[in-house]
Amino acid sequence: MTTGVAGRTGRRPGDPAHTRRAILDAAIDAFAENGFGRTSIRKVAATAGVDPALVHHYFGTKDRLFLAALDVPVDPAELVPMVIAGGREEAGERLVRTFLSVWDSPRGSATVAVLRSAVAHPWIARLLREFVFTRIVLPAFAELGLDDAADRDRRAALVASQILGLALTRHVLRFEPLASASEADVVAAVGPTLQRYITGDIGA
């Protein structure tokens, strides 16, 4: 449930890097045990033996602490405005563009590492799902005026199936010609799929 031993050694108590690492280790244990929603910065601070103000000092918000603990190199909540800026009829295309802007950037390989971790460790997958759902999917669908909970949950899972499948084939398995395809080609091919999953007829 915690990071490697290497992260815990080589720094003395009182050293800022030691304190930061102790907070992250406590956060990983707390998130793994209680999920994102039921973990508080206060509880993480108590486990790490530091003042909550120090956790805020190092990591800012609980979101930031969570992303740092799981080595996620980008705050997906910051990407939501890019996706919803064009309204619901452009959401599919903007969604794939937004993901590609991260994956095809220098931060992409760290993002791919997170996907590998999620596949290898179910508790990481559950945590990430809870975070992405509550911090990204709910607000984004609400902004787009898609409020029916059961319908929204189905659509969100279908979106995840194609977006994560794209990450898997293009960036992890590196299947050609998808791995080398231009952003424009990927958007033309996958954008309409996401658009249909977000606003179109998905049956039942």
Determine contact, residues 112/172, Cβ cutoff 8 Å.
yes
- Among residues 2, 47, 162, 199, the one that binds a copy of itself under rule CB under 8 A: 162
Tell me, what DSSP letter sits at residue 61? S
Q: Which of residues 96-155 bind a copy of itself (CB under 8 A)?
A: 115-116, 118-120, 122, 125, 129, 150, 153-154
Q: Is 172 among the residues that bind a copy of itself (CB under 8 A)?
A: yes
Buried b (16+ CB within 10 A) or exposed e, 162-185: bbeebbbebbeeeeeebeebeeee
Cis preceding linkage at 177, omega within 30: yes
- Among residues 80, 146, 160, 199, the one that binds a copy of itself under rule CB under 8 A: 160
- Among residues 45, 190, 195, 198, the one that binds a copy of itself under rule CB under 8 A: 190
Calculate the CA 16 to chain-centre distance: 27
* Chain contacts with a copy of itself (rule: CB under 8 A): 115-116, 118-120, 122, 125, 129, 150, 153-154, 157-158, 160-166, 168-170, 172-178, 181, 184-185, 187-190, 192-193, 196-197, 202-204
